[in-house]
């Protein structure tokens, strides 16, 4: 499923983010950039140790929640990995929505600054960090939509949803928030 926004494509696919052939893959990292399970584990396993070596060297203090940093992509097909730190879900009153949106925005800014034409995102914060998928989907899509409506790039932003349920929640949110003939389309 996809939408065209100011000439850029926003699309949803189901799959494994580590296999995407895009300029930048976004990692669901933690603020220590210490590695972990989920997307993070899969990226470091498939990309090899150079990714962690680089982030340790360049970002010894890690990365605050709601922000992102960038590194090379080791053996992955991508050129870059953008390590985005989403919030841990604590019930919704701890600025989780703002922090999640800002992790997406900062990732998109880094991608544009590094001339990435295509970026793949996982559903940040919806695994170990416990963010409810339906709410996370809305924030993710709204934030990317607003960024593309303003900047018209990256040319391709792809959400890679791991399972059928995540895909359906994102697809529902997309139908609702970005109608096929929204004003910024085309």
Q: Report the nearest approach of ligand AR6 to the CB of residue 3 (Å).
A: 20
Structure tokens at 13: 């696919």
Q: Which is nearer to ligand AR6, 138 or 153 (CB)?
A: 138
Assess whether the previous peptide bond of 154 is cis (omega < 30° from 0): yes
Q: Is-catalytic flag, 40?
A: yes
- Whether 13 and 120 have beta carbons less than 8 Å apart is answered as no
Q: Report the nearest approach of ligand AR6 to the CB of residue 186 (Å).
A: 29
Query: Which of 7, 37, 92, 152 touches ligand AR6 by CB under 6 A?
Result: 37
Contacting ligand AR6 within 156-175 (CB under 6 A): 160, 162, 166
Query: Which of 51, 122, 148, 157 touches ligand AR6 by CB under 6 A?
Result: 122
Catalytic residue among 40, 61, 163, 164: 40
Q: Which is nearer to ligand AR6, 44 or 153 (CB)?
A: 44
Contacts of 45 by beta carbon, 8 Å cutoff, 6+ apart: none
Query: Which of 12, 18, 118, 170 touches ligand AR6 by CB under 6 A?
Result: 18
- Going from the C-alpha of 96 to that of each of 35, 50, 152, 159, the distances in angstroms are 21, 31, 27, 20
107 lines the binding site for ligand AR6 (CB under 6 A): no
Q: Report the nearest approach of ligand AR6 to the CB of residue 152 (Å).
A: 26
**Active site positions, annotated:** 40
Q: Which residues bind ligand AR6 (CB under 6 A)?
A: 16-18, 28-30, 35-40, 42, 86, 122-129, 160, 162, 166
């Amino acid at each position: 499923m996809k939408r065209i926004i100011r000439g850029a494509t926003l699309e949803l696919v189901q799959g494994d983010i580590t296999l995407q052939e895009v300029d930048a893959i976004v990692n669901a990292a933690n603020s220590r950039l210490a590695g972990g399970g989920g997307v993070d584990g899969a990226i470091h396993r498939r990309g090899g140790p150079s990714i962690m070596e680089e982030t340790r060297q360049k970002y010894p203090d890690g990365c605050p929640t709601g922000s992102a940093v960038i590194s090379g992509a080791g053996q992955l097909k991508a050129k870059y990995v953008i390590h985005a730190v989403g919030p841990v879900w604590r019930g919704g009153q701890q600025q989780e929505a703002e922090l999640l949106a800002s992790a997406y925005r900062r990732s998109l800014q880094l991608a544009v600054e590094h001339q990435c034409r295509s970026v793949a995102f996982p559903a940040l914060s919806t695994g170990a960090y416990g963010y409810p998928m339906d709410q996370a989907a809305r924030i993710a899509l709204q934030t990317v939509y607003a960024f593309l409506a303003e900047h018209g790039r990256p040319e391709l932003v792809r959400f890679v949803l791991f399972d059928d349920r995540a895909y359906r929640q994102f697809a529902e949110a997309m139908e609702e928030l970005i109608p096929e003939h929204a004003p910024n389309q085309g």
